[in-house]
Amino acid sequence: MRLTLRQLEVFEAVARLGSYTRASESLHLSQPAVSMQIKQFEDNVGLPLFEQMGKKIHLTAAGREMHRYCLSINQLLAEAETIIEQLKGVQSGKLTISVATTASHFATRLLAAFAARYDGVTISLDITNRESLKNQLEQNEPDLVIMGQPPEGVEVESSVIMENPLVLIAAASHPLAHVKNIALKHFAAEHFVAREAGSGTRSAIQRFFDNHGVTFHTGIEMSSNEAIKQAVEAGLGLGIVSVHTLELELETGRLVILDVEDFPIKRHWHIVQRTGKRLSPVALAFKQFVLEEAQQFIRLPAPS
């Protein structure tokens, strides 16, 4: 078989995404170009690699075997790239980082400071949700991930960066804004603006309320912390978010942190990598930088 790296790249994308259209979008190719690459690949192999059932594309038996080898080849190429980057040293090379949406408030400042220190490094940053971070770790795509609780079902190595307390917030005009030591059971009658089911923050909140025997009522679900803060400020309910996302709102007095018994909910930020991943000198330098200096990039106004 005479296969090209381009054919392997296109084949892997179609197999992973289950769609010629999505593969073309991911690779920034036209759909006819993707179809042509797959046809040439199948002609070289001598067997069909995909079969269509209804609107869905599935790997054939030959396709599954080729996909297994394709992943192995990609892993070897990634390791070769890592070795080359190691030879370049810390002053150059590429750093690929993925960050949980909630952590972006301080992670961007971290990266800016690191980039200023190592100005020859090219940084690729993806800010995304927990499910996407898990998928990226499964595919061994980023060098490092900054997130909350490391995902289950994926072999990873993680180190705690710092605490990530979740606090209960309300609009500044809320009747409880200046009440001290509010009983948690009071909030069984309140409605919350919360992250979508399945998010790490939502799961932690639900466990906290369950452990305290208090019902947690979700009035509105939002896909981002920014949307939650805006909804809480508008008076649509209470919210529970990372204290690290509240810098601007606390400074301007648009939101307040309520004084509630047993709060904040204690969580941590982690820096995560796939188990066995060989980090380049650049990635190792960034990991050490995060572990030693992350705390100084958290900005919150002093308590009044």
* pLDDT tens per residue, range 202-243: 888 999 999 999 999 888 888 888 899 999 999 999 999 988
Work out the pLDDT band at 87, boundaries 50, 70, 90. Answer: low
The token duo for 135 is 């998928």
Q: What is the pLDDT of residue 24?
A: 92
Work out the pLDDT band at 274, boundaries 50, 70, 90. Answer: very high
Which range among 7-11, 87-91, 242-246, 277-281 has the greatest average pLDDT?
7-11
Q: Give pTM, 2 decimals.
A: 0.65
Q: What is the pLDDT of residue 89?
A: 62
Decide if domain 90-163+268-297 falls under CATH 3.40.190.10. yes
- Asked whether residue 294 carries a pLDDT value surpassing 90, the answer given is no
Taking the C-alpha atoms of residue 130 and residue 100, their distance in angstroms, rounded to an integer, is 6
Q: What is the pLDDT of residue 212?
A: 94
- Asked whether residue 2 carries a pLDDT value surpassing 50, the answer given is yes
- Asked whether residue 103 carries a pLDDT value surpassing 90, the answer given is no
Q: Choose among 233, 240, 246: nearest CA to 214.
A: 240
Residues 54-87 as b/e (b if ≥16 CB within 10 A, e otherwise) read: eeebebeeebeebbeebbeebeeeeeeebeebbe
Q: Picking from 17-31, 47-61, 81-95, 126-140, which range would have the lowest pLDDT averaged per residue?
A: 81-95
Q: Picking from 84-93, 124-133, 211-220, 277-286, which range would have the lowest pLDDT averaged per residue?
A: 84-93
Decide if domain 166-257 falls under CATH 3.40.190.10. yes
Q: What is the pLDDT of residue 129?
A: 86
Asked if 90-163+268-297 and 166-257 have one fold, the answer is: yes
Q: What is the pLDDT of residue 304?
A: 46
Contacts of residue 108, defined as CB under 8 A and 6 or more positions apart, other chains included, come to 125
Show me where the domains of the chain are located.
Answer: 5-81, 90-163+268-297, 166-257
3-state secondary structure the chain: CCCCHHHHHHHHHHHHHCCHHHHHHHHCCCHHHHHHHHHHHHHHHCCCCEEEECCEEEECHHHHHHHHHHHHHHHHHHHHHHHHHHHHCCCCEEEEEEEEHHHHHHHHHHHHHHHHHCCCEEEEEEEECHHHHHHHHHCCCCCEEEECCCCCCCCEEEEEEEECCEEEEEECCCCCCCCCCECHHHHHHCEEEEECCCCHHHHHHHHHHHHCCCCCEEEEEECCHHHHHHHHHCCCCEEEEEHHHCHHHHHHCCEEECCECCCCECCEEEEEEECCCCCCHHHHHHHHHHHHHHHHHCCCCCCC
What tens digit of pLDDT does each residue of 33-73 get? 999 999 999 999 999 999 988 778 999 999 999 999 998 89
- Asked whether residue 280 carries a pLDDT value surpassing 90, the answer given is no
The distance from CA 38 to its chain's CA centroid, rounded to whole angstroms, is 31
- Asked whether residue 99 carries a pLDDT value surpassing 60, the answer given is yes
- End-to-end C-alpha distance for the chain, whole angstroms: 71
Q: Between 1.10.10.10, 3.40.50.1370, 3.40.50.300, 3.40.50.720, what CATH number should domain 5-81 receive?
A: 1.10.10.10
